[in-house]
Every structure is written in structure tokens, then in C-alpha cells.
């Protein structure tokens, strides 16, 4: 039984009124949803409130869930929308970005190196690198931050991210490319690399 089948079974049971089934889904996805929301909302107390609100919205909308997408894909969209709504009520806006040509994503030869920046012992132990990456992530427009988080933190494929973000795969590639470039630009001075080298 796949993870999606397990989730669908829990959803079906929750739709039939078994509250414990929904509690299991909350327990399974609470950490992931909280981490996702924390990329948009920075106050930890507010993150918890928005995550709780997202789960309440999901529970109320459960009768409409048809299983056309994976449960987490559906929950992800509710979480992102809840965070955007929260920021709007606070008079803040989730940053937006403009699309660039997706072809440049294909020319990023060493894209995989973003995952590998913390493999050497010295970099792994360096708080400066972690702080610089986190700071660079926070400065990214929301669409870029979400895409790079889903790829590098959640480990999702480009196809899965395209479904979750409801956009073409070329757009996903472009967003991830641009996010990596922005993070690389912040890391260059710290790592002492040339402008024509990413790391």
C-alpha cells in the first residue's frame, strides 16, 4: 500500500466521521506544514496559529476532497493560502516574482551542488553558512522560496512540485534556478569564490 493509498484511506475514514483518522493525518503532516508556513510567516507563535487554521480549514473542506491529487498536495495549497491570507490581514504581503525564461534553468550545470554545500566537515560545522543560506532563503520571493524548499528540504521531484504549485514544470525549473542563483550570490563572499563560479 503506497503512502498516497494510506492517506486516502485515512481521508475516507475521516469523511465517514472518524475523528481519529484525521488526527493521524495531522500528526503525520504537522511538522512539514509548519516548516512550509515558517518560510512565509516568521514569528513562531504566528506560524503555529496559521498551521492550526490550515488544518481546521482542511477538516472543514474534507467532504469536498475527491482524491484527485495527493492529500499533502491539497493540504499544501490550503497551508500556502492560509499563510497568504494571514499576511494580508496583518497588512503584509507575501512577495511575488516575475517569471523569467525557463531555459536558463537547463544551463545550470552544477545545480546539484546546492545540496552538497554542507558536505565538507568545515562547512557542515559553520554556523555562518547556515545563517547565510537561511537569510538568503528569507529574502527570496515567496514562489522561489516555496519551490526551492520543496526541492531541497522536502526532496520532491520537479513533477511533484509542478502539481503542488499548480504551474508548468518549466516554471518550476526557472524558480529553482533563480533561487539557487540568489543563494549562491550570498554565499560567494563567504566561500571566497569568483563571480563566474557559483561555489
Please spell the DSSP secondary structure of 115-139, one letter per residue: HHTT-SHHHHT-HHHHHHHHHHHHH
Angle CA(89)–CA(91)–CA(95) in degrees, nearest 5? 105
| pLDDT for the residue 168 | 93
| pLDDT for the residue 51 | 93
Q: Answer for the pair 3, 73: CB distance below 8 angstroms, yes or no.
A: no
Along the 199 residues of the chain, how does pLDDT read in single tens digits? Answer: 788 888 999 999 999 998 888 999 999 999 999 988 988 888 888 999 999 999 999 999 999 998 888 898 899 989 998 998 888 887 765 544 433 333 333 333 334 444 444 444 444 435 666 777 788 888 889 899 889 888 887 778 888 899 888 999 999 999 999 988 888 888 777 666 655 554 4
| pLDDT for the residue 112 | 42
| pLDDT for the residue 98 | 36
Q: What is the dihedral of CA 114, 117, 119, 122, to 10 degrees?
A: -170
How far, in Å, CA of 37 to CA of 52, rounded? 11
- Residue 107 CA, distance from chain mean position: 23
How far, in Å, CA of 134 to CA of 39, rounded? 10
How far, in Å, CA of 54 to CA of 79, rounded? 5
Q: Answer for the pair 172, 98: CB distance below 8 angstroms, yes or no.
A: no
- Domains of the chain: residue spans and CATH: 3-89 (1.10.1740.10), 103-191 (1.10.10.10)
How far, in Å, CA of 67 to CA of 5, rounded? 10
| pLDDT for the residue 52 | 92
| pLDDT for the residue 193 | 60
Amino acid at each position: 500500500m503506497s503512502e498516497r493509498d494510506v492517506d486516502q484511506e485515512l481521508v475516507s475514514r475521516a469523511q465517514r466521521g472518524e475523528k481519529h483518522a484525521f488526527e493521524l493525518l495531522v500528526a503525520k503532516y504537522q511538522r512539514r506544514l509548519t516548516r512550509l508556513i515558517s518560510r512565509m510567516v516568521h514569528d513562531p507563535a504566528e506560524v503555529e496559529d496559521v498551521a492550526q487554521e490550515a488544518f481546521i480549514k482542511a477538516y472543514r473542506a474534507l467532504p469536498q476532497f475527491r482524491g484527485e491529487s495527493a492529500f499533502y498536495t491539497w493540504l499544501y495549497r490550503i497551508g500556502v493560502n492560509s499563510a497568504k491570507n494571514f499576511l494580508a490581514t496583518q497588512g503584509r504581503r507575501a512577495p511575488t516574482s516575475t517569471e523569467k525564461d525557463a531555459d536558463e534553468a537547463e544551463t545550470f550545470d552544477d545545480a546539484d551542488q546546492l545540496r552538497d554545500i554542507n558536505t565538507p566537515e568545515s562547512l557542515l560545522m559553520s554556523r555562518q553558512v547556515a545563517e547565510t543560506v537561511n537569510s538568503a532563503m528569507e529574502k527570496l520571493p515567496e514562489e522561489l522560496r516555496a519551490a526551492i524548499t520543496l526541492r531541497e528540504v522536502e526532496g520532491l521531484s520537479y513533477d511533484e512540485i509542478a502539481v503542488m504549485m499548480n504551474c508548468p514544470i518549466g516554471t518550476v525549473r526557472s524558480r529553482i534556478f533563480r533561487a539557487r542563483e540568489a543563494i549562491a550570490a550570498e554565499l560567494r563572499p563567504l566561500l571566497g569564490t569568483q563571480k563566474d563560479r557559483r561555489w
